[in-house]
Amino acid sequence: MSGGVDSSVAALLMAREGAEVVGVSMHLWNHDRDGTGSLEGRCCTLDDLGTARRAADIIGIPHYILNMEDEFKEKVVRPFAESYLAGATPIPCVSCNTDLKFASLLERARSLGCEAVATGHYARIEEDPETGLPVLRKALDLDRDQTYFLHGLTVEQLRAVRFPLGSLMKSQVREMAREAGLPNWGKPDSQEVCFVPKGEGPGEFIRREADWLGLRLPALPGSSPGDITDREGHVLGHHQGVFPYTVGQRRGLGLAAGKPLYVLEIRPSEARVVVGGAEELCEQRVGVSGVNWLGPLPAEGVHRVRARIRYRHPEQEAVLRLWRREETLEGDLEFQEPVRAVTPGQSAVFFSLAEPDRVLGGGVIRRMLRADGSQGP
Name the strand (E) or helix (H) holding 109. helix 105-111
Q: Which residues contact 233 (CB under 8 A, 6 or more apart)?
A: none
Q: Nearest to residue 161, comparing CAs of 231, 113, 211, 105?
A: 105
Cα separation of 313 and 362, whole Å?
Answer: 14
Q: Are 329 and 244 in contact (CB under 8 A)?
A: no
- Beta strand 161-162 with 117-118: parallel, antiparallel or unpaired? parallel
- For the chain, the distance separating the N- and C-terminal CA atoms, rounded to the nearest angstrom, is 38
Positions marked active-site: 96, 194
Q: Are 94 and 83 in contact (CB under 8 A)?
A: no
Cα separation of 376 and 303, whole Å?
Answer: 24
Name the strand (E) or helix (H) holding 267. strand 262-267
Q: Which residues contact 281 (CB under 8 A, 6 or more apart)?
A: 247, 248, 262, 264, 340, 341
Q: How many CB atoms lie within 10 A of CB 238?
A: 13
Q: How many CB atoms lie within 10 A of CB 32?
A: 14
CA-to-CA separations, 70 to 28, 67, 303, 329, 361, in angstroms, rounded = 8, 8, 39, 29, 29
